[in-house]
């Protein structure tokens, strides 16, 4: 356990389904991130939250909708996905944005392996 | 824009061999941070090292060593006397000091296979 817990570990969903990915940390961190890891591509930053406020949306399609109800929880709501959205979705947290950039305590979860059929 | 290139997609060596993973980066900032992460089959990224742009000293930690060369914008990672447990995907990453809103920029990763 890294301190960042992601559920579920694996998810298979149809293109018309709606599902949610959950990320939880009790490290006292205030910044949380969603990354997408596709085969043979660099990890792509999707969303950034700092003290529950969204600070970054890297041109992510609207079929991905993040939610951060408090500093300990981060969700990624999925609807009408495409097969090319199949990937490993990683959540990460850091004390805040600045310490994250400095690399202090940037902690990753184990990811949710998503398959869209 | 920042960019990280890991040209080696996959490397396979026999146990006990030394192996070097290459990382080349691009940035316009003078202050930045470089990282290496290990991703075992379980999926999570495990932090290995962090280096700031003002510290070009090479670092050694057990069988791991890192060579940072600003002149060639490279931050290479060497494993000495490799072991099967070193098998994983290794990512090099870059962070510019702009408040962290851009997160980390990662390379595509190098899949390292250590054969017994």
pLDDT tens column, B41-84: 888 889 999 898 988 888 888 999 999 999 999 999 999 999 99
B7 vs B1: which has the higher pLDDT? B7
**How many whole angstroms separate alpha carbon A3 and alpha carbon A87?**
22
> For residue A77, what is the enclosing H or E element?
strand A73-79
Closest CA to B97 of A95, A44, A97, A55: A97
| Confidence (pLDDT) at B93 | 92
| Confidence (pLDDT) at A96 | 87
3-state secondary structure of B84: helix
Does B110 contact A at CB distance below 8 Å?
Answer: no
Tell me the shortest Cα–Cα distance from A72 to chain B, in angstroms.
18
| Confidence (pLDDT) at A28 | 93
Mean pLDDT by 10 residues, chain A (117 residues): 89 93 95 91 89 84 95 95 95 87 81 95
Chain A residues with at least one Cβ partner in B under 8 Å: 2, 4, 31, 33, 35, 40-43, 45, 48, 50, 55-56, 88, 90, 92, 94, 96-104, 106-111, 113
Q: Are B38 and B114 in contact (CB under 8 A)?
A: no
Report chain A residues whose CB lies below 8 A from the CB of B102.
45, 56, 101
**How many whole angstroms separate alpha carbon A46 and alpha carbon A35?**
5
């Amino acid at each position: 356990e890294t301190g960042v817990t992601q559920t579920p570990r694996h998810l298979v969903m149809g293109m018309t389904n709606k599902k949610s990915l959950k990320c939880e940390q009790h490290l006292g961190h205030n910044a949380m991130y969603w990354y997408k890891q596709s085969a043979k591509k660099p990890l792509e930053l999707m969303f950034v939250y700092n003290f529950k406020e969204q600070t970054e949306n890297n041109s992510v399609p609207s079929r991905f909708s993040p939610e951060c109800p408090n500093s300990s929880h981060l969700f990624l709501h999925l609807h009408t996905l495409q097969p090319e959205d199949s990937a490993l979705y990683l959540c990460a947290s850091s004390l805040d944005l600045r310490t994250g950039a400095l690399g202090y305590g940037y902690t990753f979860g184990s990811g949710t392996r998503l398959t869209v059929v | 824009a920042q960019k990280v290139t890991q040209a080696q997609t996959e490397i396979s060596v026999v146990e006990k061999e030394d192996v070097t993973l290459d990382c080349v980066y691009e940035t316009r900032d003078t202050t930045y941070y470089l990282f290496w992460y290990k991703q075992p089959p379980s999926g999570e990224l495990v932090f290995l090292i962090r280096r700031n742009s003002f510290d070009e000293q090479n670092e050694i930690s057990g069988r791991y060593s890192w060579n940072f060369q600003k002149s060639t914008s490279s931050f290479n990672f060497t494993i000495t006397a490799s072991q099967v447990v070193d098998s994983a995907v290794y990512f090099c990453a870059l962070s510019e000091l702009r408040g962290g809103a851009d997160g980390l920029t990662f390379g595509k990763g190098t899949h390292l296979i250590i054969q017994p």
